[in-house]
Amino acid sequence: MRISVLASSSRGNASVICNGDTFVMVDAGISARRICKGLDECGLGMEQVSGIFITHEHTDHIGGLGTLDRKHELTLYCSRYLRSELRVVAPRATLNYVEPGGRVQVGEVTVTPLGVSHDAVDPLGYVFEGDGVKLGYVTDTGRCTRTMLAALEGVHALYLESNYDEEMLHDSGRPYSLIERIEGVAGHLSNKQAGEVVRALAHSGLRHVILAHISPECNTPSCAEHSMQSVLEEVAPMVQLHVAGQFDRLPWIEI
């Protein structure tokens, strides 16, 4: 199984995951033009993507969906209560709903959604499985609960939000209400919280950690990387750490 992150930050997110001949995407929060360009760099066209798994409806996760829907035949997977919202954004698409814990098979990829804690309509994370390897995909969550950790147990690769540095967030000059929202249970994971998640999930089979959804205002890629590296040195020194970026595609990572 492989993953390439087309883009990730608070400004836009999209990834492509492959197992065998099956390609699926997670989110479409950058422009349709950038999605198609990113897929092209992966050697793919939109018609080869069997489905797009949507985490939630914030613009940085579905911003490109409307244009994609006008130009391509899409199959979308989302939580039950998000369907009506997505129907408005992508009226032509085939919409399937998925539930936490309910497995879905798309070609050679098995997908198990998990509930996350975020101020959106029924937001989801996902575990992708194929060929005996598991990839956990968790973004936009204020907390990583025990239920979430249980669902992510044993993953060989983890795509994980590392949204903000606490000090930078407090020095950002943002309104206190927004700071409270970001730090709240339905907000985002800080670098420190992301470290705690990896600490809890570390095991000898964990090979890759991909840091994602880094805030351009309240974090830097190197700050997030250093924070996670210090945890990895302690608990899982063999893990390869990757940092997804706002502009450049993260090339295929073989899990």
| Residues engaged in binding Zn ion (CB under 5 A) | 58, 60, 140
What angle is formed at CA 225 by the lines to CA 221 and CA 230, rounded to 5 degrees?
A: 160
Q: How far is the CB of 9 from Zn ion (least distance, A)?
A: 9
Smaller CB separation from Zn ion, 2 or 58: 58
Q: How far is the CB of 237 from Zn ion (least distance, A)?
A: 30
Q: In this structure, how many other beta carbons lie within 10 angstroms of the beta carbon of residue 221?
A: 16
Smaller CB separation from Zn ion, 119 or 196: 119
Sign of CA dihedral 1, 14, 206, 186: negative
Number of residues that make up the chain: 255
Tokens of 136: 């956990």
Question: What 3-state class would DSSP assign to 132?
Answer: coil
Tokens of 165: 């540095």
Contact 181, 119 (CB under 8 A): yes
Q: How far is the CB of 135 from Zn ion (least distance, A)?
A: 19
d(CA 24, CA 108): 10
Smaller CB separation from Zn ion, 60 or 122: 60
Q: How far is the CB of 155 from Zn ion (least distance, A)?
A: 21
Smaller CB separation from Zn ion, 27 or 129: 27
Report which residue's Cβ sits closest to Zn ion.
Answer: 58
Smaller CB separation from Zn ion, 42 or 186: 186
Q: How far is the CB of 240 from Zn ion (least distance, A)?
A: 24
